[in-house]
Amino acid sequence: MNSFKKLALIFGLAIVATSCQDDSVPNYQYMPNMYESVGYEAYSEADFLPNQSEAMLPPANTINRGWLPYEIENSPEGKELARLQSSPLDSMSVEKNLAKGSQLYTIYCAICHGDKGDGQGTLVKREKILGVPSYADPVRNLTVGSTYYTIHYGLNSMGSYASQMNTEEMWQVSEYVMKLKQDLTK
């Protein structure tokens, strides 16, 4: 009888100990940082990081991958200098460059300038943007260099696409724009 009381007491304590457990919430957190991460604000102070800042500036005189510095400044004189610039892309792979330029033009430019470069893109037809000129307009005097300059810096209501495309892609689009201009002026 004595062993029956001990067995009942142990069984009762086991039931009491397990009845308070909530399966939806863990009782113990062995590594609390894994469950509740600490968020840091960019450029804010953090005493355990170098220079007490989370995001650090890149080292001086470094260049991003796929990016070449553009020596021509964003000014009216710079635009005239860019007009004289020729494409640095390989002349042996013109077809490949035009094919890639066509794809990029369709993604970034055709919505405003139109698939043919006539200034009749979807946004112009819906009157969301007005005054997009045709590449065939002789007053514009487009060259591959001035087209690259415009893609790089933007012009009027067209913003810069330098953050969306790397240097080679901007030159490919510029060459494709020259092909569209040639097709329009035939």
Strand, coil or helix: 152: helix
For 65-124, the pLDDT digits (tens) are 767 778 888 888 988 998 888 888 888 888 999 999 999 999 999 898 888 888 888 888
For 129-163, the pLDDT digits (tens) are 888 888 888 777 888 999 999 999 988 888 888 88
Query: Which residue type is seen at 53?
Result: S
Q: Please give the pLDDT value at position 66.
A: 67
> CA 109, 135, 80, 129 torsion: positive or negative?
negative
Q: What is the DSSP string of 38-106?
A: PP--TT-B-TTSGGGBSS-PPPTT---TT-----S-SSHHHHHHHHT----S-GGGHHHHHHHHHHHHH
Contact 98, 176 (CB under 8 A): yes
If pLDDT is split at 50, 70 and 90, which confidence band does 28 have?
Answer: low
